Amino acid sequence: MWKYEKKLQYPVSIKKKNLEFAKQLVTQYGGFAGELAAALRYLNQRYTMPDNRGKALLTDIGSEELSHVEILSTMLYQLMKDATPEEMKKAGLASHYAEHRNALYPLDANGVPFTVTYFATTGDPIADLSEDMAAEQKARAVYESLIDLTDDPDIIGPLLWLRQREIVHFQRFKELYEFYKKNLKEPR
């Protein structure tokens, strides 16, 4: 079912530790508009799509979102690598260190842990695809805000690439949404 290549979809090589930026970037890992929520949303919704076209698209994009989790995890790891407890405390990450040390943990930029309430599924393909398009737009907006918060090209490169994937995913969902609007019977 899966073919795993041991490389990221987009290479990540961050050379400078930056705990302050890591504290913001984590929102795309575990926040409401983050990649983990998107992956789980799409992989759950796929089961109630009315045909193989919808199931395939949700599976493909959901799987790709997991690869985005991997990119973000790599970025976060590199941004936090070898941070001392003192550096973590200075960056406002003392509570993170107390519970997780330098390990990754899915939460948003405010420290709110990931929750399954970040993704929805209704069983209605039109409603779910509307949610998916909105999710992609929210993720794009967050990536743009994150890009505004840094001038490090090693960070900006992957963020631009991830932002572009949100645009592509939105377009694919929109195409499927329009196809279903035209070809499916109205829900009860």
| Tokens of residue 86, six digits | 């003192």
What CATH homologous superfamily does 19-182 map to? Ferritin, core subunit, four-helix bundle (1.20.1260.10)
pLDDT attached to residue 1: 58
77 in Cβ contact with 14 (< 8 Å): no
pLDDT attached to residue 6: 83
61 in Cβ contact with 42 (< 8 Å): yes
Residues 6+ apart with CB under 8 A from 47: 55
154 in Cβ contact with 74 (< 8 Å): no
How many angstroms separate the Cα of 180 from the Cα of each of 43, 123, 126, 166, 172?
A: 19, 14, 7, 21, 12
pLDDT attached to residue 5: 76
What is the C-alpha to C-alpha distance for residues 155 and 13, in angstroms, rounded to an integer?
Answer: 8
- Selection from 99, 67, 85, 88 nearest residue 23 by Cα: 88
pLDDT attached to residue 19: 97
Domain boundaries, the chain: 19-182
Write the pLDDT tens digit of every residue in 114-128.
999 998 899 999 999
pLDDT attached to residue 47: 95
pLDDT attached to residue 187: 56
pLDDT attached to residue 4: 73
pTM for the model stands at 0.94
β-pair partners for 107 = 113
Which residues of the chain carry a pLDDT beneath 50?
none
What is the C-alpha to C-alpha distance for residues 34 and 94, in angstroms, rounded to an integer?
Answer: 23
What is the C-alpha to C-alpha distance for residues 80 and 82, in angstroms, rounded to an integer?
Answer: 6
